[in-house]
Structure 1
């Protein structure tokens, strides 16, 4: 029965064709991003989501890709492919990670310890001359402890991975050739990941979001007044949210409120990334002027994110003054 509903789930030839077409679409979208004709796009797999941003967005002067959530297996596979990446929420020392202040990696609030830390931990014993009487942990036990902490970080916001610059191209090739992107069971079995973009790309189709409007009368001081609500269901992309707020600001005489529901694993995309060089506003508009975004929206998305691991939950405009909470 499942085979009839999803003919691609058991048809390897059809799966190969779908993946081949998807690879062309993915490459097309990346090239648009590279040439700054696309500001950003998402790759949505059944395991994780990737946000690719063009150079100039989120305060970075190079292409960036954020992956969340990740597992040790994914990170090891990327490392084996030669993809250089960092864990922005984890202070790094080579490939060994230590917990940053205020960042919990597990229920016990433990930290991953590097080899240098282990050596420093026993240096005071050498000063006392009793180092030979204390059993020092062997290399295997230290390695196992590190692996345990890396696994504890899996699927948490702290596992978010940042890839920058030309390494994003290596990431693209890695994703195209990775078999782990496709689910082997469930409703997405055999299907390539979903690509979401604010601009058209090769093989793309435009999808309409579901919208429902309601008009109710509420009691006011002078009687009753009409109150309108609009419910939009589906993936509302960042530029669309900003465009809607600009529209409502003018059409609703500077007063409205909005409740937002976020796909939780992607909230961490709002973290502040390490910045090498910030592009000037004039340069940004010149280079990304053809990406399809309104100039005010482009200004907003080019700013360094300030929400951290949280996301917008409520936005209110009253007398043309915005208030929001996360």
Structure 2
């Protein structure tokens, strides 16, 4: 554990745990957090009680945590732990929660995030750059792992996973999660080119943030549309307005734009939407299998130049799959001295870094609820391209939650974590940024 004076420490501890101001009111108050499907790159927890229990696990505790993860053991802790540092169950459960699975894996390369990572990667560390045979082997191996993950998802033995390319990220979710009764895949950000290629492969998809038949020019959340969304809808309105003029018998007196002009305008507006959150694509049901095959055969998902050239997309999963490597999120506790009226006081912090997936956020807050006696705060740092995964598209029908819960019991998650992931998303294009628990009640804001 580190003990530092805040005056000599970077401002990360000061900015991540700001006090709530009148203009920055928590979004809600509840005994549970809303589900957040974005990937976090960093979590910073602060508390008036130390996090020393998270440091220096014994060899036996580390081994037990790994075994608990592999056997999907559901650990239940008491409401409050008197001496967390001496609680073996807590320490083992913490080790268990830090584990995630990755493919491909190269010790000298950080494979998440992939979007915008070129400046952090060196082309010299990629031996496959000029070796087509090696690139083919990497891609063939990746295809096997990807197919394995999808099959686990289809049989509800994997709850969800991410495919991270250098241009976009895809979240695949099992039937029964996020309120859907079929497998879903959210893909963001997209471009007109990739959407056209998907259409040509017969993949049916929707743009959940674009209301195809809307006249109110509003999103489902009720806020104003972005420029690209407004234009896409205004073109539809324009075509409908000419139909109305025809019904009135005055269409000949109005100059109607020719079909080519309308088509060019639509194409321009589609391009304006590219790379933005509004370009998020939703694929459902059997179309997700077609998407799988499309991605396996799509050469454009792999960079052809730069440090990521020839490198297959990153697969991230909460559970093991064929060809996956077990990885650990990094955790460290820090004791920061902060200035108070009467001098200095201790501010205890626990920092988690790495690809933090939705199940971990829920698991670790369950542990902290017990270890910190129901009182802690957290700053959450989101990988921004994935924030839009919290969008809630219209649901076809209400799920039979009891049946779904039974079918997902073997997916490797704690029952309470699974309950949270079954919730209908409410955060829209936002994600959780700050969380505060006081007396076992959450306040949060996005």
Report the TM-score when normalising by structure 1. Answer: 0.91
Q: Secondary structure at the match of 1:43?
A: strand
Aligned match of 1:10: 130
Q: Aligned pair 1:110/2:221, yes or no? A: no
Pairs within 5 Å for 1:203-218: 203-218=323-338
**Aligned-pair CA distance for 1:222:** 8.5
Q: Aligned pair 1:300/2:420, yes or no? A: yes
**Aligned-pair CA distance for 1:8:** 0.8
Aligned match of 1:198: 318
8 Å CA contact 1:90, 1:98 repeated in 2: no
Q: Aligned pair 1:37/2:157, yes or no? A: yes
Stretch of structure 1 that moved more, 154-163 or 217-226: 217-226
CA distance in 1, matches of 2:341, 2:150: 55
Q: Secondary structure at the match of 1:92?
A: coil
Q: Secondary structure at the match of 2:190?
A: coil
Pairs within 5 Å for 1:222-237: 226-237=346-357
Aligned match of 2:278: 158
Q: Secondary structure at the match of 2:424?
A: coil
8 Å CA contact 1:213, 1:229 repeated in 2: yes
Instruction: Report the CA distance shift for 1:281/1:124 in structure 2 as closer, same or farther (over 3 A).
Output: closer
Gaps of 5+ in 1: none
**Aligned-pair CA distance for 1:139:** 1.0
8 Å CA contact 1:214, 1:229 repeated in 2: yes
**Aligned-pair CA distance for 1:99:** 5.2
Q: Aligned pair 1:291/2:411, yes or no? A: yes
Aligned match of 1:276: 396
8 Å CA contact 2:156, 2:175 repeated in 1: yes
Stretch of structure 1 that moved more, 155-164 or 215-224: 215-224
CA distance in 1, matches of 2:159, 2:273: 30
Selected match of 1:251 from 367, 371, 389:
371
**Aligned-pair CA distance for 1:111:** 3.4
Deviations 1:187-231 (A, max 9, x none): 211100000000000000012223232113456788865432111
Instruction: Report the CA distance shift for 1:126/1:64 in structure 2 as closer, same or farther (over 3 A).
Output: closer
Aligned match of 1:24: 144
CA distance in 2, matches of 1:189, 1:166: 31
Aligned match of 2:307: 187
Q: Aligned pair 1:70/2:190, yes or no? A: yes
Q: Secondary structure at the match of 1:8?
A: coil
8 Å CA contact 1:209, 1:232 repeated in 2: yes
8 Å CA contact 1:90, 1:99 repeated in 2: no
**Aligned-pair CA distance for 1:124:** 3.1
CA distance in 1, matches of 2:406, 2:177: 13
Instruction: Report the CA distance shift for 1:161/1:318 in structure 2 as closer, same or farther (over 3 A).
Output: same
8 Å CA contact 2:232, 2:266 repeated in 1: no
Q: Aligned pair 1:121/2:242, yes or no? A: yes
* Aligned-CA RMSD value: 2.5
Q: Which structure carries more relative contact order (alpha carbon 8 Å, separation 6+)?
A: 2
**Aligned-pair CA distance for 1:232:** 1.4
CA distance in 2, matches of 1:11, 1:97: 54
Aligned match of 2:22: none
Aligned match of 1:312: 432
CA distance in 1, matches of 2:229, 2:361: 38
Instruction: Report the CA distance shift for 1:108/1:267 in structure 2 as closer, same or farther (over 3 A).
Output: closer
8 Å CA contact 1:43, 1:193 repeated in 2: yes
Aligned match of 1:167: 287
Aligned match of 1:176: 296
8 Å CA contact 1:97, 1:114 repeated in 2: no
Number of matched residues?
Answer: 322
8 Å CA contact 1:41, 1:195 repeated in 2: yes
8 Å CA contact 2:175, 2:183 repeated in 1: yes
